[in-house]
Amino acid sequence: MLTTPRLLTPTRLLGRTLPQTTGNTPLLRLERLQAEISPRVQLLAKAEWHNPSGSVKARAALHILQSAIQRGDLTPHGQRRLLDSTSGNTGIAYATFGASMGIGVTLAMPANVSPERIALLRTLGAELILTDPLEGSDGAMLTARRLAAEAPDRYWYANQYDNPANWQAHYKTTGPEIWQQTAGQVTHFVAVMGTSGTLMGVGRFLRSRHAGVRIIAVQPSGPFHGLEGMKHMASSLRPAIYQPDVHDEVITVSTEEVYAMTRRLAREEGLFTGMSSGAAALAALQVARRLEEGVVVTLFPDAGFKYLSHEELWQA
């Protein structure tokens, strides 16, 4: 005889919400790359595609949204929308959490981002404003600023490049995870720069635990490159959250080298990642090769699914 299922009280619920599934990503050993370095050096990478929206940007987007709601800048199911510029991953994270929280999301982004990103964002219900591809992420940022100034009652401008909640998310989550997962043995942290939030937050946290930890930034070798989501700081609008004194060194990488390493991660490590992960692996391997002993940790921002249309990335 069928009976009506009993409703579960909050204390008996087995499920988890999207915010509760953010973070605590695996730390992976890069087995094939490991063979090229001293056996007393460990080369490890955080697999950030395990986050709800599929990238590291879930951490910052969630903290930005929660902080805005706590302050009353945004209200679930309210009239005001979150507005920001994005090259894709932060926007996808905003749209993912916005859909679950009842927050409308409007995004300015370059029109030449991968079609997979545009399709994902539209599926998640985000309103898209596609900007001049020749102006890159800076052009999208300026468009978002203009819209925020023109319609402050309609939009709350999240401004991921200048919002301290961006780097604070990594200070509170990513940094402590790395410290715990390496039992406090991490000696070097390597991260690519876009908004710089990951580098700033993790770098500050690790330094607070051990002043000798080396923090290494990674950026494209010049202003004209094919590395979506990465910034060449000297030629771009510099994020207000970026403070160069947090890192000890900057490693530059070329588009061609990054593409080759991204393919290598897929074909030798079985890790299907985006190009920023290829950049992170390339720089982390360079650091690891210098050492006789140590624990080098880097971070792989996302998986490769959003880049399948980039034929030049996968063909070789």
Segment 159-217, tens digit of pLDDT:
999 999 999 999 999 999 999 999 999 999 999 999 999 999 999 999 999 999 999 99
- Which residues touch 93 (CB under 8 Å, ≥6 apart)? 51, 52, 53, 55, 57, 58, 60, 61, 62
**DSSP sequence for 19-42:** GGGSS---EEE-HHHHTTS-TTEE
Please identify every stretch of the chain with a pLDDT value under 50, giving residue numbers as ranges. Answer: 1-2, 8-13
pTM for the whole thing? 0.93
Give the residue numbers marked as catalytic. Answer: 57, 276
Distance separating alpha carbons of residues 142 and 129, to the nearest angstrom: 12
At 14 the pLDDT is: 57
At 172 the pLDDT is: 98
At 124 the pLDDT is: 97
Token pair, residue 254, equals 């070329």
At 6 the pLDDT is: 54
Answer for the pair 109, 85: CB distance below 8 angstroms, yes or no.
yes
H helical segments located in 124-209: 136-150, 164-169, 175-181, 197-209
Length of the chain: 316
